[in-house]
Amino acid sequence: MAAETAMSTNDPNACTASLCGRLESAERARGSKSEHQATLLRDDAGDLHPLRRAGGSPFTDPALQALEGQRVNLHGQPRDGYFLIIRIEVLPG
């Protein structure tokens, strides 16, 4: 059973978690060669979550940028240092 669970979290189509909050732009990796503006999710507790859309660029993603300022429910997988988005649900307000 443990092997099946581990395999399902690596399945790029498996949604194992969700995050809810507002998308916003913020600077990432300040002072490094990887410094860039990124779209992050600020959850209802005020915590920021780095994001990456499945199939999207880790540095700039026009699909996420277009949703900045909106409340969303993101379905996907927590990864090492970011949340991999499989599906985006835009919420009212």
Sketch out the chain's domains with CATH numbers: 2-90 (2.40.50)
Instruction: For residues 16-38, give the mean pLDDT.
Output: 82
Residue 17: per-residue pLDDT: 94
Residue 14: per-residue pLDDT: 74
Q: What is the pLDDT of residues 54-84, one digit of tens each?
A: 888 877 889 999 999 999 999 999 999 899 9
Q: Hey, what are 27's tokens?
A: 């600077």
> Side chain identity at 18, as an amino acid letter?
S
> pTM for this structure?
0.78
